[in-house]
Amino acid sequence: MTKPTNPNAQGMSRRTVLKGIGAAAAGAATVPLLHAAVDAREEAATTEVALRSAQELATRSGTTPALAPLGVIAFNRIAFGPRTAEDLQRMLTMNDETFVQFVDEQLNPGAIDDSEVESRLAARNFFTLNKSLEQLWLDHKVNGNTPPANFPADQSWRWRGLPRDETEQETFIRAVYSKRQLNEVLFDFWFNHFNVFAGNSSSYVAYTFVSYVRDSIRPHMLGNFRTMLEAVATSPAMLEYLDNYINQVGGPNENYAREIIELHTLGAENYYGTGLQQDVPGYPDAPVGYVDSDVYETTRIFTGWRVEDGRDNLSDTGRFTFHDPWHDRFQKTVLGQFFPANVSGLEEGRRAMDLLAAHPGTGRYICRKLCRRFISDDPPERLVNEAAAVFTAQWQAPNQLWQVMRVILLSPEFRSTWGQKIKRPSKWRSAPFVRCGPTSTRTATSSMPTVRLVRNSSAGDHPMATPTARSTGAAPCRCCTVGVSATT
């Protein structure tokens, strides 16, 4: 099969992205940015895979900034910056040995005392952060029009979407005050990778947002990707956001199937177009990519994966359920693998996720995104391949992602690159507060300044309300068209 033309690139205008030179200081200075042309579909990644084609690479004028001290690199990429005097001293005196110690410390967040941030969260008296999924559903969906008596009457309109609002505030507080800084940087990455739109207060996403973040994303960020994939797939937030909660044999909806392949696992870089499955190189034992037919077959596999939302005689709990009457029970083929007829749809879905998580293309795609986040917008291919080899070989290991991150953070490329990564607004938003160490006596219901603070809609980077499934976590976003920024 010949490499197809990327259908998503047709008719799309090329955009100008500002790339610039960052000072080798602790990320505090802003500098003028220089124009550079890049392809609108910059997600495509290697010369060996389907959607990669020759493209106009970003070019810089001026001089490349001098390599920053190792401590500056570490605190600006692994963290949101130094906050305390101790952090600053550690940053300024960091050498190769203490850098490795810092990395290993951040890779073991459970051993870091984070009582300060927990105390700050407790002092705000949030209503929703400790609720179970079922309680969130009952309080904010089933009884969403009747806030409890202790909730301010003049803010009753906020009740349905309160789990979303409080999670936004919690996320910002953790980014500023947590000593587990790598955890917070990784959360920003993984939430964007598994993006859901939380902007609609009357949605399953908003009602259960606390659970989505707490139960589906955060426990797995240094754990196992396959485990996180299923936790996300069975969350009411993702089931509703990508419409799989209505995906049924009599009315299939391919939104989730397409995104689990194109965005969550293999990526568009491994897409081989609209041709036949058997024409993909390596078929059937090890196809190197996928075609639209794989998406359609995966759609059939996930029929019947839905939410207990009170419809069709189901309970009204918000929990995931497999609804057998909706499942397409006939045979299917995905990535060269045969799925026989009359097999449980739950079993089929889990097998499909196994295939996707174990595929080498998934390892390359995920690791390229991680290298973009932690190294540069045009990551070194050597490191991408090294990290991807670990990702794929360890796809069943409970600490798979821990192993991958250690490879990336301790790589020579991490220490030897600077000024090749544009800072996103989420880092601009958090970094000044990290450095200033602000205090606040606000309670959960004194709201709106904090809520407004975490929104970067005008910069194209609202951290929890990106309306499309495409995340903003790897490539430069619309924020790159502003007049000044900084690089790391």
Q: Tell me the β-bridge partners of 307.
A: 320
Q: Taking residues 435-463, what's their average pLDDT? A: 50
Residues in contact with 180: Cβ distance below 8 Å, sequence separation at least 6, in sequence order: 106, 109, 112, 114
- 35 to each of 32, 43, 60, how far by Cα in Å? 10, 19, 8
Torsions phi, psi of 348, nearest 5? -60, -45
Q: Tell me the β-bridge partners of 38.
A: 15
Q: Taking residues 439-460, what's their average pLDDT? A: 48
**Which of 234, 387, 353, 241 lies closest to 305, judged by CA?**
234
Give the pLDDT band (50/70/90) at residue 1: low
Q: pLDDT tens-digit profile of 131-187?
A: 999 999 999 999 999 999 999 999 999 999 999 999 999 999 999 999 999 999 999
Give the pLDDT band (50/70/90) at residue 431: low
In this structure, of 177-181, 199-203, 464-468, the range with the lowest mean pLDDT score is 464-468
Distance in angstroms (rounded) separating the CA atoms of residues 440 and 169 = 12
Looking at mean pLDDT, say which of 34-48, 198-212, 436-450, 461-475 comes out highest.
198-212
pLDDT at 462 exceeding the cut of 50: yes
Strands 305-309 and 31-38, by their bridges, are unpaired
pLDDT at 354 exceeding the cut of 70: yes
Cα dihedral 101, 107, 111, 115 sign: positive
Distance in angstroms (rounded) separating the CA atoms of residues 402 and 317 = 34
**Cα 385 from chain centroid (whole Å):** 20
| Alpha helices (H) in 22-141, listed in sequence order | 70-77, 85-92, 96-106, 115-123, 133-137
Per-residue model confidence (pLDDT) at position 419:
83
Cβ(387)–Cβ(370) below 8 Å: yes
Quote the tokens at residue 416.
């030897």
Per-residue model confidence (pLDDT) at position 45:
37
User: CA angle at residue 193 from 363 to 319, to 5 degrees?
Assistant: 110
pTM of the model: 0.83
Distance in angstroms (rounded) separating the CA atoms of residues 28 and 308 = 48
User: CA angle at residue 101 from 100 to 104, to 5 degrees?
Assistant: 85
Q: pLDDT tens-digit profile of 8-63?
A: 443 333 333 323 323 333 333 332 222 232 233 333 333 344 544 434 344 445 56
How many CB atoms are closer than 10 A to CB 340?
Answer: 9
Query: H or E stretch including 162?
Result: helix 162-177
pLDDT at 122 exceeding the cut of 50: yes
Per-residue model confidence (pLDDT) at position 422:
72
In this structure, of 162-176, 191-205, 425-439, the range with the lowest mean pLDDT score is 425-439
Distance in angstroms (rounded) separating the CA atoms of residues 389 and 342 = 35
Q: Taking residues 435-450, what's their average pLDDT? A: 50
3-state secondary structure at position 271: strand
Q: Tell me the β-bridge partners of 305.
A: 322
Give the pLDDT band (50/70/90) at residue 339: very high
- 265 to each of 348, 363, 367, 427, how far by Cα in Å? 17, 8, 11, 25
Cβ(320)–Cβ(329) below 8 Å: no
Quote the tokens at residue 149.
């008596």
Cβ(484)–Cβ(30) below 8 Å: yes
pLDDT at 434 exceeding the cut of 80: no
Quote the tokens at residue 410.
């301790």
- Amino acid letter, residue 117: V
- Amino acid letter, residue 403: Q
Strands 15-20 and 31-38, by their bridges, are antiparallel
What mean pLDDT is reported for the chain? 84
% pLDDT > 90, the chain: 72
User: CA angle at residue 287 from 283 to 292, to 5 degrees?
Assistant: 95
Quote the tokens at residue 387.
């990290």
Distance in angstroms (rounded) separating the CA atoms of residues 157 and 136 = 16
Q: Tell me the β-bridge partners of 18.
A: 35
Q: Tell me the β-bridge partners of 485.
A: 31
How many CB atoms are closer than 10 A to CB 390?
Answer: 20
Residue with tokens 């005008």: 458
Verify cis geometry, omega within 30 degrees of 0, for the bond prior to 284. yes
Per-residue model confidence (pLDDT) at position 425:
62
Distance in angstroms (rounded) separating the CA atoms of residues 195 and 461 = 12
Cβ(286)–Cβ(382) below 8 Å: no
Per-residue model confidence (pLDDT) at position 74:
98
Residue with tokens 């984070």: 114
Q: pLDDT tens-digit profile of 213-225?
A: 999 999 999 999 9
Q: pLDDT tens-digit profile of 368-421?
A: 999 999 999 999 999 999 999 999 999 999 999 999 999 999 999 999 999 877
Half-sphere exposure of 263 (CA within 13 A, CB side): 23
Give the number of residues written for the chain.
Answer: 488
Q: What is the layout of strands, in order, in the sheet containing 15-20?
A: 15-20, 31-38, 484-485
Quote the tokens at residue 275.
């041709």
Beta strand spans in 100-218 (E): none
Q: pLDDT tens-digit profile of 251-280?
A: 999 999 999 999 999 999 999 999 999 999
Distance in angstroms (rounded) separating the CA atoms of residues 22 and 13 = 28
